[in-house]
Structure 1
Amino acid sequence: MDLITASFSIKTHDSQKTIRKIVDEKVHDHEDREDQDDPFFISDLGDIVQKHSRWKTLLPRVEPHYAVKCNPDPAVLTTLAALGTGFDCASKAEIQTMLELSVSPSRIIFANPCKQKSHLKYACDTNVSLMTFDNEDELYKVKRLYPGARLVLRILTDDTTAQCQLGLKYGCHPKHARYLLQVAKQLDLNVVGVSFHVGSGCRESSAYTKAIASSHDVFEAAHYIGYHMDLLDIGGGFPGQPSAPIAFEEFAEVINRALDEYFPVSCGVRVIAEPGRYFVASAFTLAVNVTAKRVVARDIKTFEVPESKDLVSNTVAPTKCEEPAYMYYVNDGVYGSFNCLLYDHASVEPTIMTDHSGEMEYSTSIWGPSCDGLDRIIEHTTMPELEVGEWILFKDMGAYTMCAGSEFNGFKRPVVYYVLPNNLRVPMHQMLQQENKEFKISTSNTKCTNYRGYFIEDAVGFAFEDADLFSHHPPSIDIRA
């Protein structure tokens, strides 16, 4: 029972089956992989659906606009588009991708304060009118190329505790906002709202309270100048995995309280956000294969590395009297899916597929496949001794991983396998039908039918009733054995 589209297929499975079990099946069934030991992702689309339902429950006033840059995987974008989310696009290519998925221009915000001229022209040609700015030169550019744009002033926030600080690059200081609004007014440009971003991977929920309060001050300044703004964009920064320092529930509580204080429902202001990692971080699990191993001395070093307390590296070979340490080489690394270690300041945790219960653990480092010494995934951890050919899992690998991976040294990007619990199969059919008005469901349960690039295998007939299709479905599968 699969859902098959023109660009990807989704395997449905019993809702009790774990990610570990699915990985084990794919280890032995290497369809779509050139070699059986090639790395691969498992993408649990049910996890994304559950995240959407959770967002609607905890932040009912805030309309999510998914940050495409976080993970532009076609199945992710198709699922979120069908769920009715908006999209945060930063370039012409991202806008084009969403328009090709039949997403209305009205569901897109061009959330790049400093836009290339040709990209701005493309937005004009395709009626993507909502966009951000944070400097005077951008206003003159918009006046020349897209005077009918609906502008959102991005203000600076204090994001010093965030995993990735965006305030270093973008945002107008709130004290400078009045001047920019005056320039926009003189140019007869339409400023419709305020946006901010507390930083990707925010670690302090109070950052939203401060930013929303600052936004309120800018709204008042705009009213004095003659603007009647009706949009607040609270950006991103929301956690996407259970191991995050602060739970999403805490962020939601803080945001709702601040909105009630500064932007109550009665004021008529529409509130949107730009979540990225929230939707996709926990939906992707990466499986890598141990391609080689090296035994080194645990307690003897021939050199010291600054800031490395317990470096496991190729220094001295151990004798029989010394405790060994192990270096494992796997077939994905920092030039591929683990680029998040460099660009996103992420940390990853390995899970061994094979049962090594009761075995002694040793100092271990894990390295990527390229011939660059920088390609180190984990500097030090403790693990049982592994053999070449064993598999290691890394969960929560959906955010800022595959989107920035390269094929450096000739190592290909991992294949992605998409899965969905059986209890979400029919709602997914309905969801696609709603998003694509010409899409129809076959009443046959034997043949495969094609509509607008979507194929329904083993389809069944049903009636479409509730647009909120997934509110009562339980969370999807996890990595536990």
Structure 2
Amino acid sequence: MSNKGLSNDESYLEKFIWTIKKQQTEEAFYVLDLVHVINLLDTWKRNLPIVQPFFAVKCNPHPDFLATLVAHGSSFDCASRSEIESILALGVSPDRIIYANPCKASSHIKYAAEVGVNLTTFDSVDEIYKIQKLHPDCSLLLRIKAPDESGCMWPTGSKFGALPEEVSPLLQAVQTAGLKVAGVSFHIGSKSHNSQAYKTAIEAAKAVFQEADRLCMPPMHVLNIGGGFVSNALCFEAAAAAVKNAVDEYFSEDERRSLTVMAEPGRFFAETPFTVVTNIIGKRVRGEVRQYWINEGFYGSMMRVDSTTLAESCISLKCMSNNSNGPVLMVCGNGTGGSRTYSSTVFGPTCDPIDKVLEGHQLPELEVNDWLVFRNMGAYTSSCSSNFNGFGSAKTTYLIN
């Protein structure tokens, strides 16, 4: 078919799905664009050269994705023994790993000590005691609660982060335990669109540096600004500018010379390189409403993806089989280009009624074995999926190099 009128993304997807269709697969699958991963790394370096990214492995542990990050110099934020093992298996040096979980199982702390992962976070006295006993050579970052979590989709402050009144007692407890606090960490919440939240959090972090000085502790030298970054160009540029301006404002030139600034981005690198392609396995018509079932859903790749993102990212691909050369795939307009659309509900494959992907979404008339494609599906998708009802998330991943 002609590509006239298609966007570059849609044309690319059409050609790719045609290749897959020739292989006669009807299973849901992922597409991973490794070139896009490299471009995102370049974007980070260009906008935030002062900040070393430690990719949050929990966001997406796909081995080819991680290997690309490794090859281009990324470091890693691990939250468990299993994540540490997976990163070490890729040949990453332990000094490129932060054990960024403020509350760790004792056996996991012992493992970190055994393999030489010597930087971790804490926000409680009990964590200090565990580290003193099991990994006394570990350097610590005091995780504080970010003062402003407005503008994020998933706040973290209700679970992690020391309150301002807890900072001094925690620093004194570290002194008593004979451990070393290397610096401060925070997290403004996942998928944040409030760039100024970094400014207020960096200001709060500087107050911890000053309190450590008041307590005559060894000088701190690490500022961990956490995650929350999104890959939208304008949002990321605003966040990068806020971070750089705040570091310049709250840390003197002499302090900045010895300051290591790190971050724990997950979504920024993982979300947009992945596309999930789903097959329509069922259909029901009720008047003017169309209901479809696809072979991926809430309990698979879509548990942590909001409905707005799913609706905005959806592309429909119609399969035309009355062709002597085999099936032809057409990218449908989803409400654009003048084609008739219907209010549509899209369900996932399980028997749970909450397994609903889209509702009231305008789609063209589709049939069983047509396809729905969802872009920007790499953040907390496969890593959060389950096998509920005997269905898992898409397993096969096709790489675009």
What is the TM-score of this pair, normalised by structure 1? Answer: 0.74
How far does residue 405 in structure 1 lie from its aligned partner after superposition?
1.0
Give the 3-state SS of the residue equivalent to 1:162 in structure 2: coil
Give the 3-state SS of the residue equivalent to 1:239 in structure 2: coil
- How many residue pairs match? The answer is 371
User: Aligned residues: percent identity?
Assistant: 40
Say whether the 8 Å CA contact 1:23–1:42 is kept in structure 2.
Answer: no
Say whether the 8 Å CA contact 1:240–1:280 is kept in structure 2.
Answer: no
Distance (whole Å) between structure 1 residues aligned to residue 346 and residue 187 of structure 2 = 34
How far does residue 199 in structure 1 lie from its aligned partner after superposition?
0.4
Match of 1:331 in 2: 295
Distance (whole Å) between structure 2 residues aligned to residue 265 and residue 16 of structure 1 = 48
Instruction: Deviation per CA, 1:40-91: give whole Å up to 9, x if none.
Output: 1100011110000010000000000000000000011111111111100000
Say whether the 8 Å CA contact 2:154–2:191 is kept in structure 1.
Answer: yes
In structure 1, list runs of 5 or more residues that go unmatched. Answer: 1-14, 31-35, 297-317, 319-323, 421-481
Say whether the 8 Å CA contact 1:110–1:131 is kept in structure 2.
Answer: yes
Say whether the 8 Å CA contact 2:27–2:295 is kept in structure 1.
Answer: yes
Match of 2:250 in 1: 262
Distance (whole Å) between structure 2 residues aligned to residue 181 and residue 240 of structure 1 = 35
Distance (whole Å) between structure 2 residues aligned to residue 17 and residue 123 of structure 1 = 47
Give the 3-state SS of the residue equivalent to 2:132 in structure 1: helix
Give the 3-state SS of the residue equivalent to 2:376 in structure 1: coil
CA 1:371/1:258 → structure 2, altered by over 3 Å: closer, same or farther?
Answer: same
Distance (whole Å) between structure 2 residues aligned to residue 331 and residue 100 of structure 1 = 32
Q: Please say if 1:18 is aligned against 2:3.
A: no
Match of 1:151 in 2: 140
Displaced runs of 4 or more, over 4 A: none
Q: Please say if 1:109 is aligned against 2:103.
A: no
Match of 1:409 in 2: 389
How large is the RMSD of aligned CA atoms in angstroms? 1.9
Match of 1:285 in 2: 275
- Amino acid paired to 1:72: P
How far does residue 137 in structure 1 lie from its aligned partner after superposition?
0.7
- Amino acid paired to 1:106: D
Match of 2:156 in 1: 166
Match of 1:430 in 2: none
Q: Please say if 1:229 is aligned against 2:215.
A: no
Say whether the 8 Å CA contact 2:35–2:400 is kept in structure 1.
Answer: yes
**In structure 2, which of residues 201, 206, 221 is the aligned counterpart of residue 216 of structure 1?**
206
Give the 3-state SS of the residue equivalent to 1:295 in structure 2: strand
Distance (whole Å) between structure 2 residues aligned to residue 237 and residue 86 of structure 1 = 17
Say whether the 8 Å CA contact 1:154–1:194 is kept in structure 2.
Answer: yes
**In structure 2, which of residues 309, 323, 346 is the aligned counterpart of residue 366 of structure 1?**
346
Distance (whole Å) between structure 1 residues aligned to residue 14 and residue 188 of structure 2 = 35
Q: Please say if 1:348 is aligned against 2:310.
A: yes
- Amino acid paired to 1:416: T
Q: Please say if 1:27 is aligned against 2:27.
A: no
Distance (whole Å) between structure 2 residues aligned to residue 16 and residue 37 of structure 1 = 20
CA 1:17/1:101 → structure 2, altered by over 3 Å: closer, same or farther?
Answer: farther
CA 1:224/1:20 → structure 2, altered by over 3 Å: closer, same or farther?
Answer: farther
Match of 2:327 in 1: none
Match of 2:129 in 1: 140
Instruction: Deviation per CA, 1:242-276: give whole Å up to 9, x if none.
Output: 6xxx6211111111111111135531110000000
Q: Please say if 1:391 is aligned against 2:353.
A: no
How far does residue 347 in structure 1 lie from its aligned partner after superposition?
3.0
Instruction: Deviation per CA, 1:119-166: give whole Å up to 9, x if none.
Output: 000000011010000011100111111111100000001214311110
Match of 1:431 in 2: none
Give the 3-state SS of the residue equivalent to 2:243 in structure 1: helix
How far does residue 346 in structure 1 lie from its aligned partner after superposition?
6.7
- Amino acid paired to 1:259: V
Give the 3-state SS of the residue equivalent to 1:177 in structure 2: helix
Aligned ranges for residues 84-103 of structure 1 at < 5 Å?
84-103=73-92
Match of 1:249 in 2: 237
Say whether the 8 Å CA contact 1:241–1:281 is kept in structure 2.
Answer: no
How far does residue 224 in structure 1 lie from its aligned partner after superposition?
1.5
How far does residue 205 in structure 1 lie from its aligned partner after superposition?
0.7
CA 1:53/1:16 → structure 2, altered by over 3 Å: closer, same or farther?
Answer: farther
Say whether the 8 Å CA contact 2:315–2:372 is kept in structure 1.
Answer: yes
**Which protein has the bigger helix share?**
2
How far does residue 175 in structure 1 lie from its aligned partner after superposition?
2.7
